[in-house]
Structure 1
Amino acid sequence: MLCLIVSGCSKETADLPEPDELYSAVADAAGLSEMIELTPEELQDIVGIDPEEYVDYAGYQASWGMSPDEIIIVRAADESKAKDIEEKLKSRVEHKRKSSEVYLTENLPIINAAVVQRDGVTVSMLITENIEDAQTVYNKLKK
């Protein structure tokens, strides 16, 4: 199965709201509820993103363990770190996809539609059943 990961990379720095504001808009558009915020330690343990790589982030997972929903938006410290974070988020999607191949296969379509994109120093990973709505509102917030 092909994992559809969209990678948007722009040399121009997109003027995006802060990660928390982006997350709130995406979560509302996608109808996400009952999400658990990731601590900096969990972001590092789960995705491998170290605190010195970013200046701000919003990271959330579904509180219900069987749901694949996961939104991570990171404002990297610089362009180089943004590129590294983008690769780590792509690896995270691939890990979730491989895990779902043997457990909870019904989540594969949601994971396969995941979006990882980089806009300047803001890098995001959107995994949700309502990916189109989430992506639409995210793109509308780009100025």
Structure 2
Amino acid sequence: MKKRIFVVILVLVMVLTVAFTACDIKEPENTSLPAYTTLPTTTTEPVTETATGDETTDVGESESDTNTDITTENDTTISIVTNNSNTTILVETDAPATEATNPPTPTEQNLSCSALAANIASKTNMFEEVLEEGNVGRAVSLFGISEGSYSDISYYTASAGVAEEILIVKATDESQISSIVSGMENRKNTQIDDYSDYVPKEVPKLNNATIYTDGLYVVYCVSNDYETASNLIRSMF
């Protein structure tokens, strides 16, 4: 019995040995990627033209194109067409053209003579006294200004014995400016003659009186600080 079992086992071993020998068992190929993979480098030709406004920058012809549209906040559409090595950029602006706006010329200003004069009078450091708003009718008479030559006017004055005063006039048109300036010059010279006799200390103020024009505006100012007053007046226009 034992002999038969041994023979059977031996036969089985031989059969298995023959079977494994007959089979061509191959090792599976290593399909894993290498640790580092170098990607091919694509060289893009330089752009030869710059896209400006509605112009198109062409870098080359494309056989198989890919389109990408980008719309910005200011309604500008940028289309990018690409293929393997070429890029085309299209820029389209849908925003309406904006007209340039120029600042108003001096003759177009609409400043209030009362506000301008009040601003100057409020700078008490420039005056010996606090100036008060005066009678416009009296100012027109003192400065020899005709009624039809101005569209706005304001007058501030000090007490008797002090030459300080402010007059701001807006002429009706440019042809009236010279006569208004002339009236201010006459007022200045008359005041110099008058104060030379009884309050000579006021004469330096009058000699340095500011007469300034800007567009249709004419300013007359007698103050205790000519330079500061002059700079202030210029800064208001």
**TM-score normalised to the size of structure 1?**
0.81
- Percent identity of paired positions between Structure 1 and Structure 2: 22
For these two proteins, the number of residue pairs brought into alignment is 130
Counterpart among 151, 169, 189 of residue 55 in structure 1: 151
Match of 1:113 in 2: 208
Higher helix share: 1
Which protein, 1 or 2, shows the higher relative CO under an 8 Å CA cutoff with sep ≥ 6? 1
SS of the residue corresponding to residue 157 of structure 2 reads: strand
* 2-structure distance, mates of 1:13, 1:105: 37
3-state SS of paired residue (1:102): helix
Question: RMSD between aligned alpha carbons?
Answer: 1.9
Give matches, 1:23-38, under 5 Å.
23-31=117-125, 32=127, 34-38=130-134
- Which one-letter code corresponds to 1:22 in the other structure? L
SS, match of residue 111 in structure 2: coil
* Whole-Å separation in 2 of the counterparts to 1:82 and 1:61: 22
Equivalent residue, structure 1, for 2:114: 20
| Aligned counterparts of 1:131 and 1:98: Cα–Cα separation in 2 | 20
In our comparison, the structure showing a higher alpha carbon Rg is 2
Distance 1:16 1:104, change over 3 A: farther
Distance 1:97 1:125, change over 3 A: same
Tell me if structure 1 keeps the 8 A contact 2:152–2:169: yes
Instruction: Kindly state the Cα deviation for residue 115 of structure 1 after the two structures are TM-superposed.
Output: 0.9
1:16–1:103 distance in 2 versus 1, CA, 3 Å = farther
**1:102 lines up with 2:163 in the alignment:** no
Structure 1: how far apart are the matches of 2:212 and 2:110? 13
Q: Is the 8 A contact 2:209 2:223 kept in 1?
A: yes
Change (3 A) 1:18 1:88: same
The residue aligned with 1:129 is 224
CA distance in 2, matches of 1:16, 1:102: 41
Q: CA deviation at 1:113?
A: 0.7
Per the normalisation by structure 2, the TM-score is 0.51
Partner Cα separation in structure 1 for residue 133 and residue 142 of structure 2: 13
Alpha-carbon contact 1:115-1:125 (below 8 Å) kept: yes
